[in-house]
């Protein structure tokens, strides 16, 4: 597949990295010679210094025979115009644009992006996606990640193992016999920063971060087995009233679950606008690093603080201050990947990466075959994939213990006629089943082929 990536920032760089690993023909465009130099040094792609929405630059990048254009520059308008030119002049089949300005995303202007006007096939708003991701994490207290799949009938949960976790130091093959009510599949273990796909002989140790797949109805029981029985937050303090904080607060209000929400916002004008737009939310103007402001927000009585300002250092320090006041759970937005390994050792419970969330959203539109959803894990270590099995798929018709799955692939759940099946060795996948699996980066291409439509299907 031939892909043009407009923008060599964190998201553009990582999208190009993913696609290049899979031997796609990738060209990256950016105005910054420094960023393009970094791309040239670190990635096996073509890189061009230039304005991503200029026709001559897109032509130089090979737009005339490109399969996809992904616009992730810092300017919404450049992303939009690049998609328009890719369509009008070069007939690029698929165009994806990152758009941050909320005014463009207002439903009353939805017709703007139709094929007759500005033809963009997929619009991604990082702020909205991040707010939704934080809301999902908050819905499972004790989890550091939650991915809903199969119409939210299946959930992939990320959880940390503590020394109090009842199921640590137990080989995975024995979990079913020792804990028969624990109907889950462990799909990844992250230990000392290194992620692996476990075998039946592996075991979880205190300090490990693990991902498991479960029927959504059984998640509370599974969390209890990991030693987590925290209650859902009823009092939430959001630090930062930008687009992410605003969208999260609005989502909490619209859920109508009796959650008391407060926002601390440093900018006076922004605080006033947020207060006017969200009358049910208490908005406090001030610096979240000042004790007086935290006390005014009554942080000590809050169960969860969510730090989503546009400054990583403010998010980290305000989260740590809130924890000192007694907040049970800190959710912290981090843009700089270099900070991530330090965060959990400081006591922060959940780290949210806008880059990883945006990359995941884009990847599900890049993937081929009957793939419905994709979520990237562990800085590109693996992807959680939901795909529909066709009758011609090599997965169909034989027990799983007789199928030669690619290395790095583990099947976590099957959705059939609306019912969730947690697979065992004797489970047989049928045509039209929706399969939830984890695949390492090296195995993704093989997974795409397993779910591809073959000629004999027609």
| CA gyration radius, the chain | 23
Last residue of a domain, one of 124, 149, 181: 124
CATH of residue 362's domain is 3.30.70.1450
363 and 432 inside one domain: yes
CA angle 282, 284, 285 (to 5 degrees): 150
Overall average pLDDT of the 386-391 stretch = 92
Question: Is there a single domain that holds both residue 114 and residue 13?
Answer: yes
- For residue 42, pLDDT over 60 is answered with yes
Q: What was the pLDDT predicted at 455?
A: 42
Q: How many domains does the chain have?
A: 3
Q: What is the pLDDT of residue 456?
A: 41
Residue 457 has pLDDT above 80, yes or no: no
pLDDT at 170: 87
Q: Give domain status of residue 141, yes or no.
A: no
SS (H, E, C) 1-17: CEEEEECCCHHHHHHHH
In this structure, are 390 and 433 located in the same domain?
yes
Q: Which of the four pLDDT bands, split at 50, 70 and 90, describes residue 292?
A: very high
- Is 198 within a domain? no
Domain final position from 302, 325, 348? 325
What confidence score (pLDDT) does residue 233 get? 85
* Better-predicted residue by pLDDT, 400 or 21: 400
Is 204 contained in some domain? Answer: no
249: domain CATH number? Answer: 3.40.50.720
34: tokens are: 């420094």
Residue 401 is part of which domain span? 357-457
Confidence of residue 300 (pLDDT cuts 50, 70, 90): very high
Q: Do 371 and 319 fall into the same domain? A: no
Same domain? 315 vs 377: no
| Residues 299 and 379 both lie in one domain | no
Q: What is the pLDDT of residue 430?
A: 94
pTM: 0.85
166, part of any domain:
no
Q: What is the pLDDT of residue 458?
A: 33
Token match 């819905």: residue?
139
State phi, psi for 203 to the nearest 5 degrees: -140, 155
User: Does residue 259 sit in the same domain as residue 315?
Assistant: yes
For residue 290, pLDDT beyond 70: yes
Based on the domain organization, do 100 and 41 belong to the same domain?
Answer: yes
Q: 321: part of which helix (H) or strand (E)?
A: helix 312-324
Q: Do 22 and 108 have their domain in common?
A: yes
pLDDT per position as a tens digit, 327-381: 999 999 998 877 877 776 788 889 998 888 888 888 888 877 688 888 988 777 8
- For 96-154, the pLDDT digits (tens) are 999 988 888 888 887 888 777 888 999 998 888 999 999 999 989 889 999 999 999 99
Taking all residues of the chain, what is their mean pLDDT, rounded to a whole number? 90
Averaged pLDDT for residues 30-59: 96
**What's the pLDDT score for residue 334?**
92
Residue 453: per-residue pLDDT: 60
What average pLDDT does this structure show over 416-431? 93
Quick one: 249 and 318 in the same domain? yes
In a domain, 271, yes or no: yes
Tell whether the torsion through CA atoms of 284, 290, 296 and 299 is positive or negative. Answer: positive
| Residues 281-305, mean pLDDT to the nearest whole number | 95
pLDDT of residue 294: 94
- pLDDT recorded at residue 347: 82
User: Distance between CA atoms of 428 and 395, rounded to whole angstroms?
Assistant: 8
384 and 317 within one domain: no
| pLDDT grade for 417, boundaries at 50, 70 and 90 | very high
Assess if residue 402 is contained within a domain.
yes
Exposed, middle or buried, 283 (CB in 10 Å: 0-12/13-18/19+)?
Answer: buried
Q: For residues 304 and 380, state if they share a domain.
A: no
Average pLDDT over residues 56-84: 96
Average pLDDT over residues 27-38: 96
Domain boundary among 109, 124, 139: 124
Residue 214 in domain: no
Q: Is residue 144 part of a domain?
A: no
């Amino acid at each position: 597949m031939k892909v043009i990536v407009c923008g060599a920032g964190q998201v553009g760089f990582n999208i190009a990295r993913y696609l290049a690993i899979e031997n796609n023909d990738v060209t990256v465009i950016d105005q910054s010679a420094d960023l393009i130099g970094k791309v040239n040094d670190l990635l096996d792609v073509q890189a061009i210094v230039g304005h991503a929405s200029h026709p001559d630059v897109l032509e130089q990048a090979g737009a005339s025979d490109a399969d996809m254009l992904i616009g992730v520059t810092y300017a919404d308008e450049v992303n939009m115009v690049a998609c328009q030119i890719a369509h009008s002049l070069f007939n690029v089949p698929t165009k994806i644009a990152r758009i941050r300005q909320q005014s463009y995303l207002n439903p009353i202007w939805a017709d703007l992006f139709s094929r007759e006007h500005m033809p963009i096939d997929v619009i991604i708003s990082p702020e909205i996606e991040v707010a939704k991701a934080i809301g999902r994490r908050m819905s499972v207290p004790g989890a550091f990640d939650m991915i809903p799949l199969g119409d939210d009938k299946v959930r992939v949960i990320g959880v940390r193992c503590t020394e109090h976790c009842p199921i640590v130091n137990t080989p995975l093959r024995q979990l079913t016999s020792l804990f028969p009510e624990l109907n889950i599949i462990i799909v990844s273990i992250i230990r000392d920063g290194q992620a692996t796909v476990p075998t039946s002989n592996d075991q979880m140790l205190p300090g490990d971060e693990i991902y498991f797949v479960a029927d959504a109805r059984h998640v509370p029981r599974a969390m209890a087995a990991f030693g987590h029985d925290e209650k859902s937050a009823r009092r939430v303090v959001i630090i930062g009233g930008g687009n992410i904080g605003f969208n999260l607060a609005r989502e909490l209000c619209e859920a109508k679950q009796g959650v008391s929400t407060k926002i601390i916002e440093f900018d006076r004008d922004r605080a006033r606008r947020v207060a006017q737009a969200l009358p049910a939310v208490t908005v406090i103007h001030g610096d979240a690093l000042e004790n007086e402001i935290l006390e005014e927000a009554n942080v000590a009585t809050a169960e969860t603080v969510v730090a989503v300002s546009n400054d990583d250092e403010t998010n980290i320090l305000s989260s740590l201050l809130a924890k000192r006041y007694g907040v049970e759970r800190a959710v912290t937005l981090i843009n700089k990947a270099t900070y991530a390994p330090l965060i959990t050792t400081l006591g922060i419970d959940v780290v949210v990466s806008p880059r990883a969330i945006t990359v995941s959203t884009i990847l599900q539109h890049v993937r081929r075959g009957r793939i419905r959803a994709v979520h990237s894990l562990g800085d590109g270590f693996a992807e959680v994939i939901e795909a529909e099995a066709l009758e011609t798929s090599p997965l169909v018709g034989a027990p799983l213990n007789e199928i030669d799955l690619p290395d790095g692939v583990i099947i976590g759940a099957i959705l059939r006629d609306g019912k969730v099946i947690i697979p065992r060795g004797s489970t047989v996948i049928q045509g039209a089943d929706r399969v939830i699996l984890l695949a390492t980066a090296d195995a993704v291409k093989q997974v795409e082929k397993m779910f591809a439509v073959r000629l004999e299907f027609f």
